[in-house]
Structure formats: C-alpha cells, structure tokens
Amino acid sequence: MLDTKTWVFNDLDNNLWYFTLDDKNNMSYKIIYSENKWSKENIIDKNVLEFNIFIHNNNIHIAYIKENEVKYCVWEKNQWLGKTLYNCNHKKASEVKIIIIEDNFHVLFILNETNNPTKGTLTHCNFNSEGIYINPLFPMEIFTEVNNHYNLELLNKHDICLFFFESKNKELEVHSCMYNKNIWRNPRKLYSLKGSDIEIFTMNYKNSIHILNLSKEENTYLLEDVCIYSENNIDYHKIHQTNFEVSCPMLMIKEEILWLVWIENNYINYSLFNDKWNSKFQIAPKNLNELILYNSNYINHNNKKITCPKLLGNPYPNIEFILPNKYESNPNPIENILDDNTNNVKTLENQILKLKKSNKTLDKEIVHLKFKLNSKEKQCIELKERLNNSIAKTMASEDKFKNFKKAYMEFPEQMKDLRNQVKESSENLKITEEKNSKLEEKMKNTTDKYTVLQENTKKYENTLSNLNKELSIFKDENKKLLINTNNLTKENSNLKSKLENTLLEKKELTFQLKSLSKDKSVLESKLQNLMENTKILEEKVNSELEDASNKISMINAQKKELILKLNNIDEENIKLKKDLELEINKPILSKIFK
C-alpha cells in the first residue's frame, strides 16, 4: 500500500478533483466528471515539496512549500491565483497546513534549523485583504520516529485547536493550545505517550475532539482514543492491542457515525464509536498492496458527505474508495478475523471482553489519576517555590537571631562599663555645674548681643529679599538674552554658511567673468572684421545697384520703344483685318472676273 502525496475531493457537481505531485515535483490536478471522463492534466506549479488543501465556500485553497518559500493559491473564476507568503532565507519549511476562519487565512508550518535538524519553530502566518502577518509560536523538537508533529481542528467555526508533541523524560507529551479572538492561549499538557512509532490523529465530532493515538512498545501495537468534551471532562478508551503491525489508522465521519479504520495483518479493520468503541470487524481486499492512502477534506458517496482527512482507495484512473459499512448480515466480528481455530478465538474473545470490562473502569481511573497527578505536580511545584521562599526567610531570621544572641551575651559586660562611666560622668557633672553657673552669666551677655544681632539679621534679610527679587529679574533677562544669543548664534551660523556659499558663487562668477572678458575681446575683434567686411560689401552693393539702376533705365527706354512699335503693329493689324473683311464680303464672281 502506497502513502502518496495525493489529495481528492468532490465538488458541488459531484466531480472528483485529483491533486498530486509527480516524480519531478510538479503539482498538478485532473478532474473526473460524473460521466467517468478524465480531463487533461494541468500543472499548477513546479518544484513543489509538499502541499495542503482546504475547501472553503466551495473554493479550493492550497498552501504549499517550495525550496525557499511558502506559497498560497486559490481556484477562482476558472483560474489559479497565487502569492508568496514567506521567504525561508536558506531555512527549510515542512508540514504545512491551512485553515480558514471567515475572511482570515491561517497557514502553519515548521521552520527547521539548518545547523540543527532536530530543532524547529512552529510558525503561524495569518493573512487577509489587509496584509500578511508572521508569528513564530514556539520551538519544536523534530523526532525521526514521528511523521506528523502537530494537528489542527476547527472549533465552533471561530477557534483553532492545536495539538503537538513535546518530549520529557523519554516520553512524548501531547499538548494542546487554543487560538481564540486572534490570540494564541498558553499551551497545556494533556497526557504522555510511551514507546516508538507514535502518531496522533484528531477529529471534531459532536462537540468533542477525539485524539487517536498509535504507539508501539516492544512488539505490541496500541490504539487508544482520548475524547475531550471540555477542559475538565476527558474520557480515555483503549481500542485495540495487537502483536501484528498496525498501519494507516484514520478517523472518518460517515452518516453521522465516527469510524476508525486501520490495516493489520493484511486485513482492513473497522470499528465504530457509539459512546464507546465497538468490537472490530474485518475485510480482506484482494489488492491491498495496490491500494493508495489518499488525503482529503471530504468526499461525496451516494450523495452523502463523508468527512475524512485520509481514506483508502484504488489507484488512478479507476478510483474507488473503500469505506466502512454498518453490521448487516454477520454481527459477529470473530468469524472475519481468522480462518482457523475459531473456538480458541471465541474463548479468547470472551476473556478479552471480561478483561476489557474490568479494565475500562481502571482506564478511566488512570486518566483521572493522570490529570490529578498533573494538577498535583503543579501544586507541588508551587509548594516547592513557597518552601524555598520560606527557607530563605528562615535563614535570614536565623542570622538575625544569632546577631541578637551575641548582643545579649555581651550586654552584662557592657552594663558594668556603663556603671563606671556613670560614676565618672556624675563627678564630671559637678564640675560642669560649676562651669555652667559661670556660663549662664556669659549666656545672659551673649543673649543681649544675640537680640541685637537678630535685629541686624532681619534688616539684612529684607535687603537680601530685595536683592533676590532683583536677581530673579536679572535671571529672567539673562534667560531672554541667552535665547536671543542662541538665536543670534544660529543666525550667525546660517549667515556664515550663506557667506561661504556666496563667496564660492563669487569665485565662480569671477572665473566666468574672466572667461567672458576673454570671449568679449575675441568677439570685438571679430566684430571689427565684420564691420570692415560689411563696409566693403556695402560699397560693392552700392556700385552694383548703380549699374543695375542704369541698366534698368536702359531697359525702360527700350521698353518704351517696343511699346510704340507694338502700337504701330496693332494699328496695321486693324487695317489688315478691315481689308480682309471687305474682301470676304465681296461675291465670288466678282473675284473671278477680276
């Protein structure tokens, strides 16, 4: 059986769309129409590494990865329209997924480190008509034994639930994180998985999320279901345990029933969920090795929608999907499991059923205990922090107590010293009293002097207050002067710069003037030559004009003579015409007899 990078889904006209990557990494599509006629293959883009499809409002939206970029395209008005979402800058992107909420497009992908391929960053690209926003969410460990490091589920058509792995103490922890009102909430741990070949698959079904877990521990394969109804209401179901290899597990919803499909021991196995997972039943297809694992959002079967992220089917061009059916003729699943030793199998099945009944309660208790453990662990961490704080406080109080104890032990010796000091001070007091009497007399004299000084100080204080007022006025004036000086300095600097510019301009102008003066002298010499040439030309022109005027006068005289000759000729012509007319008017006989 081949796990290809092929996607299928049905449109509103029940036409099957077929998307695939060929050996040359060309992303192309074909359509099989309801009349079982295939369209020609059309290439969408080249050098594509992987792609993911989401159907929204009957439009096809594709997010895909090329060598150094993440791109997006949509089928709109019978054509593909695309754009680049993110340039990877010599990093590698993988596991791209797309989900759409109203007019906001959410594309998630893992950006792998070039130096360390075991580390990456889950990145969220949110884009709409206003722009593209890139948000690195958190670092992720890349595990070689895991094919799919995270899953997305759309909740209530407004929220996104993200499930991902995190390793801790040789276990893989499954964490969840909610995207609500354009904010990613803090991730929380759900449970841990042991073993290898670990995969998870999710499905939103009847206001709950089912997480299908596949794991392998030693030679035992285990299929489990964790059903999340709310944050505090989680059920655990152990579905199937076997020593045969389990592959291609998938969840699908058909006729409002949640189905689990997997391949085991050359059989396709089915189980349906009805508040609990029923016993499996099997079919043995003839061409199991030729079957293809298709990716999808949904397909139509007998005019009924089947929600299926993955499903099994025959290869192109005779595509037929293998779908589960309800128990019809034979409700006993044991007859389909093995061909021989049916009695032994029945007894084993009965024992397994009994064990399952006893284990179900234990499994539920284990799940609740796991969650209690998680909460207790959190409480323990808080208590440890409180303990550490209290220990630090007690250590500080112990230090204070030690210092106090030392002071208390030294107190009696200090008292003896104080008594001796008191005796000495009493004797000194007598001496000082005598001195004080003398000092009191001196004090009276000094008080009189002090009163005089106070009066003088009051006078000085008044003068000082007046001086302070004058000083404040001077300070204000100084401030104004400083401002003016600052302005003047600025103006001076501006004027200096202007002067420098004008000096430069002056130098340029003087240079230009010198060049112009040189040009002027050259031009003046040229002008003089031109003036002389014009005088010569004028003299020539005047002489030629005189000759021309003489010739014109001669021509005019000749013209007058010719006019007179022409007039005479005209007169002769008139006479000849008259003679001709007279001759013409004479009769012919007169002409003959003449």
Is residue 404 located within the same domain as residue 428? no
Is residue 502 located within the same domain as residue 389? no
Higher pLDDT, 288 or 45: 45
Q: What is the pLDDT of residue 104?
A: 93
Rounded alpha-carbon distances, angstroms, from residue 530 to 520, 540, 543: 15, 15, 20
577 within a domain of the structure (yes/no): no
430 within a domain of the structure (yes/no): yes
533 within a domain of the structure (yes/no): yes
Is residue 393 located within the same domain as residue 420? no
pLDDT in tens, 316-348: 888 999 999 864 334 344 444 443 344 445 546
- Two tokens, residue 349: 């099945």
The residue range of the domain holding 459 is: 410-543
Answer with the one of 408, 426, 450 that is the final residue of a domain.
408
Answer with the one of 392, 408, 424 that is the final residue of a domain.
408
Q: What is the pLDDT of residue 593?
A: 46
Is residue 494 located within the same domain as residue 391? no
Contact 88, 95 (CB under 8 A): no
247 within a domain of the structure (yes/no): no
Q: What is the pLDDT of residue 101?
A: 93
Looking at every residue in the chain, the average pLDDT score rounds to: 82
pLDDT in tens, 111-138: 998 888 889 999 999 999 899 999 999 9
Is residue 415 located within the same domain as residue 447? yes
* CB environment 334-358: b (16+ within 10 A), e (fewer): bebbeeeeeeeeeeeeeeeeeeeee
342-409 vs 411-585: helix crossing angle, rounded to 10: 120
Strand partners, 199: 214
Number of domains in the chain: 2
Which residue, 253, 250, 258, is CA-closest to 307? 253
Contact 197, 219 (CB under 8 A): no
Is 4's pLDDT higher than 70? no
574 within a domain of the structure (yes/no): no
Is residue 434 located within the same domain as residue 509? yes
Record the pTM: 0.57
169 within a domain of the structure (yes/no): no
% of the chain at pLDDT higher than 70: 80
Is residue 422 located within the same domain as residue 466? yes
Residue 592: which pLDDT band, with cuts at 50, 70 and 90?
very low
Contact 38, 30 (CB under 8 A): yes
- Two tokens, residue 57: 């409002």
φ, ψ of residue 62 to 5 degrees: the values are -125, 125
Contacts of 137 (CB under 8 A, 6+ apart): 121, 122, 123, 124, 177, 184
213 within a domain of the structure (yes/no): no
Is residue 396 located within the same domain as residue 443? no
Is residue 435 located within the same domain as residue 515? yes
Which residue, 110, 138, 134, 114, is CA-closest to 124? 134
pLDDT in tens, 135-180: 999 999 888 778 889 999 998 888 999 999 988 877 889 999 999 9
Q: What is the pLDDT of residue 483?
A: 84
Is residue 500 located within the same domain as residue 490? yes
pLDDT in tens, 189-215: 999 998 888 999 999 998 899 999 999
Q: Is 96 exposed, middle or buried (0-12, 13-18, 19+ CB in 10 A)?
A: buried
Q: What is the pLDDT of residue 72?
A: 98
If you compute the radius of gyration of the chain from its CA atoms, what whole number of angstroms results?
56
558 within a domain of the structure (yes/no): no
Contact 335, 329 (CB under 8 A): no
Residue 570: which pLDDT band, with cuts at 50, 70 and 90?
confident
pLDDT in tens, 514-532: 877 777 777 778 778 878 8
Is residue 391 located within the same domain as residue 490? no
